[in-house]
Structure 1
Amino acid sequence: MLIDFAGLDPVLQALLAGCFTWGLTALGAGGVFLTRKMNRRRMDGMLGFAAGVMIAASFWSLLLPAVELSGSTGLAACIPAVIGFIAGGVFMRGLDLLLPHLHTGLPLSGAEGPASPLGRTTLLAIAVTMHNIPEGLAVGVAFGAAGAAAAAGLPYETLGAAVALTLGIGLQNFPEGFAVSAPFAGAGYSRLRSFWYGQLSAVVEPIAAVIGAAAVLLIQPLLPYALAFAAGAMIFVVGEDVIPESQRSGNTDLATMSLLAGFVTMMALDVTFG
């Protein structure tokens, strides 16, 4: 029996969407059963694509609706978006300072956060897990916004836009799954265990999605701030990790052109479904 997705509670919609993005991370992590090594050029292209998707999603699916839903006009309409956007970036910076982690492609000496006895692969997994939090929040806030806007009779945020955001984030989660599982396999872990750690890095997404949707529905005045918060958190991840990682191995032109392709793809998804 097919589920009437549109008729479900927004929190349940967010949970299912978060499970979908988690599932695509797991699918990417499953690449470790085919090979233990990353093709660096291909990975840089996929990371560039992911960066483009995240940038476009931050504007089309999050920041623009935040401005439209602010209830103000002129320059004042930007205030909730500005506050939420900055708060999202500050939140991710706080996680960076509090949790030990290591970005892909860096030596162990490049680990950030407090000193830790954890190994390289574990620190890599923590970094990707941290950066999956804003993606889950973005999905949850989008579905919560769709539900809240529908209940209030507002036309700005639609279910289609939330679905488009979910598809876009799911697409860019695929390479992230393999980016986590491959280093574990290269370090001598079994393929099954490497896959387990790869998919586990995205388990926070459905959790964050439920939190984001519930928060928006419970406190509807937070809606524009929450949308912008998710955007700020995602842009922080793009600027601090995804783009630098995609450029680190010298495949700069490929990564940049892939970023443009990712941006256009996410823009097309949002315009088509939203």
Structure 2
Amino acid sequence: MADVTLAALVLVFVAGLITALATGLGAFPFFVLDEVSDRLNVVLWGLASGIMLAASLFGLVREGLAEADRGPQLFSLGTYSGEVAVVVGLLAGVLLVVVAHEVVEGAEVNPRQYEEADFRKLVLILGILTVHSFPEGVAIGVSFADLNIEGMTLLGFTVPLLAVFMTVAISIHNIPEGVAISIPLRTMGVSNWKMVWWAVFSSLPQPIGAVLAFYFVRLARAFLPVGFGFAAGAMIYLVLTEFVPEALEEGAGLPGNGYRELVAGIVVGVAVMVPLAFI
């Protein structure tokens, strides 16, 4: 059983909090602009999609397979035990998002009602936010699994390079999400700083998910390949079922229905993050 100190939990929580705070940056364009163009929105969604796909495939899945090769085996299936563990995790991640969406399907939440929400509405709001943000927090948590084992020295800790990569990737990805959250708030006349707050609030499940995932994989190392696959499966599914459709909806009125802008954003996102994954 690995030692999990309070300092380690605080570090992981802070990493998740950094990604949540990055969501608030998405509201800052509205401090100087009345609106963000559809073209830029599509590019930003494409950029977020490319970043998350690269982080999932070249960060989480690759590390999950490597961990399966060098760590204890959860499944006794010979040569393919590691691959099976990662695939099981991928499917579990997809299943979580599907089930969570079914639970909150059809729920319409008006951001202006946040401050007057009763208990039921608050539970609903938090449920919706968790569906989108919790898997990203899990990705951060599992990426810290080798804390103080291998990596680079930072603030007195030996931090895995994968953890730095995932924290940067999810932080960058959260900025377009902050823009998307701020757009309807802007049309409702919500003040600039309140838009920042609600953007950050939408990602608060991330530091919580990060701590829970980190604690679990440190205590149950054999589940780490499944954990990597779980985080990757949830994020890939969110990209394919939410980010890409959202981008195409935003780009419906553009020449080519926004496909060029979407593809350009994805290519740039992948191109930026892939080199970081192999440092």
Comparing 127-136 and 171-180, the one that deviates more: 127-136
Instruction: Name the Cα RMSD after superposition.
Output: 2.7
Q: Determine the C-alpha separation between the residues in 2 that align with 1:206 and 1:176.
A: 17
* Alignment partner, residue 81 of structure 1: 86
Deviations 1:42-71 (A, max 9, x none): 111011011011111111211111112124
- Pick from 261, 274, 277 the counterpart of residue 270 of structure 1: 277
What TM-score, normalized by structure 1, do the two folds share?
0.81
* Alignment partner, residue 18 of structure 2: 20
* Alignment partner, residue 135 of structure 2: 134
* Alignment partner, residue 266 of structure 2: 259
> How many residues were matched structurally?
246
Q: Determine the C-alpha separation between the residues in 2 that align with 1:118 and 1:147.
A: 39
Residue 242 (structure 2) pairs with residue 237 (structure 1): no
* Alignment partner, residue 187 of structure 2: 186
The answer as to whether partners of 1:33 and 1:191 remain within 8 angstroms in 2 is yes
1:195-234 aligned within 5 A: 195-234=196-235
* Alignment partner, residue 121 of structure 2: none
The answer as to whether partners of 2:142 and 2:228 remain within 8 angstroms in 1 is yes
The answer as to whether partners of 1:36 and 1:182 remain within 8 angstroms in 2 is no
Q: Determine the C-alpha separation between the residues in 1 that align with 2:270 and 2:125.
A: 26
Q: Determine the C-alpha separation between the residues in 2 that align with 1:221 and 1:139.
A: 18
Q: Determine the C-alpha separation between the residues in 2 that align with 1:211 and 1:239.
A: 26
Cα offset, 1:138, TM superposition? 0.3
1:27-38 aligned within 5 A: 27-38=25-36
- Structure 2: where are the runs of 5+ without partners? 115-123, 151-158, 252-256
1:109-188 aligned within 5 A: 113-114=105-106, 116=107, 118-119=109-110, 130-143=131-144, 145-147=145-147, 150=150, 159-188=160-189
- Structure 1: where are the runs of 5+ without partners? 1-6, 100-112, 151-157
Deviations 1:58-91 (A, max 9, x none): 1121111111212467433210001000000000
Q: Determine the C-alpha separation between the residues in 1 that align with 2:36 and 2:130.
A: 19
Residue 41 and residue 269 in structure 1: after superposition, are their counterparts in 2 closer, same or farther (change >3 A)? Answer: same
The answer as to whether partners of 2:109 and 2:125 remain within 8 angstroms in 1 is no
The answer as to whether partners of 1:148 and 1:217 remain within 8 angstroms in 2 is no
Residue 253 and residue 117 in structure 1: after superposition, are their counterparts in 2 closer, same or farther (change >3 A)? Answer: closer
Residue 202 and residue 21 in structure 1: after superposition, are their counterparts in 2 closer, same or farther (change >3 A)? Answer: same
Identity, % of aligned pairs? 28
Residue 11 of structure 1 aligns with an amino acid whose one-letter code is L
The answer as to whether partners of 1:147 and 1:217 remain within 8 angstroms in 2 is no
